[in-house]
């Protein structure tokens, strides 16, 4: 049986939903500085809810990935491209867990474990920590560094996807598009 050269619809939906939330969070984080405090607090509330949503979707996505193997790489990909793709995908999986987890830890440590408002629908529990501003600031620094690192990884990922789409003629993560015949993985 010839495996599909494309990701499953579930993987595609999870990919794009998470991409939208992550990009929105990057934009929010880079935009709130300098806003009046009530407006900044509103947008950071959205940022926190998006982050928890990404963390929950990451659990679903990892389960999906384990139970639905990725399609094989096309035969036209060079070994170094496959290695770079694997490193990039592994780094993204690490970051979709580590970034929201450090954000959740930061908020919990800064607030003393107060819950996170999830878009006004319900509250997501905080970690039951005593407030500690110094630890919270250290975790916030890690969260920020990981978030900024995502920008470089995102640029690499988009460049690779564009290269494969426009010069190699294949896509694996866009719904409804045909992909090239796969080669050995």
Quote the pTM value: 0.87
Predicted pLDDT of residue 160: 85
Predicted pLDDT of residue 167: 80
Place of tokens 């598009």: 177
Cα gap 150→49, rounded to integer Å: 19
Predicted pLDDT of residue 1: 44
Cα gap 97→47, rounded to integer Å: 15
Predicted pLDDT of residue 116: 97
Cα gap 155→106, rounded to integer Å: 26
Residues in the chain, pLDDT under 50: 1-2, 178-185
Contact indicator for 48, 107 with CB cutoff of 8 Å = yes
Predicted pLDDT of residue 3: 61
Q: Parse the chain into domains and list their residue ranges.
A: 9-168
Count of all residues that appear for the chain in the document: 185
Q: Is 103 helix (H, G, I), strand (E, B) or coil?
A: helix
Predicted pLDDT of residue 61: 96
Predicted pLDDT of residue 51: 98
- Quick one: how far is CA 185 from the chain centroid? 24
CATH architecture of 9-168: Up-down Bundle (1.20)
Beta strands in the chain, from DSSP E residues, in sequence order: 116-118, 122-124
Predicted pLDDT of residue 2: 45
In 112-165, alpha helices (H): 133-163
């Amino acid at each position: 049986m010839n495996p599909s050269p494309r990701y499953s619809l579930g993987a595609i939906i999870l990919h794009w939903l998470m991409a939208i939330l992550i990009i929105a969070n990057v934009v929010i984080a880079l935009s709130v500085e300098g806003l009046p405090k009530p407006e900044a607090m509103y947008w950071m509330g959205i940022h926190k809810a998006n982050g928890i949503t990404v963390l929950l979707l990451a659990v679903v996505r990892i389960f999906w990935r384990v139970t639905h193997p990725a399609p094989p790489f096309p035969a036209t990909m060079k070994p170094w491209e496959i290695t770079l793709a694997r490193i990039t995908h592994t780094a993204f999986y690490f970051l979709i867990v580590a970034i929201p987890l450090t954000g959740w830890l930061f908020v919990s440590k800064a607030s003393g474990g107060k819950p996170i408002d999830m878009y006004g629908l319900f509250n997501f529990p905080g970690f039951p920590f005593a407030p500690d501003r110094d630890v919270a600031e250290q975790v916030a620094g890690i969260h920020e560094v990981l978030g900024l690192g995502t920008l470089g990884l995102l640029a690499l990922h988009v460049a690779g996807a564009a290269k494969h789409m426009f010069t190699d003629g294949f896509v694996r993560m866009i719904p409804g598009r045909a992909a090239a015949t796969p080669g050995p993985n």
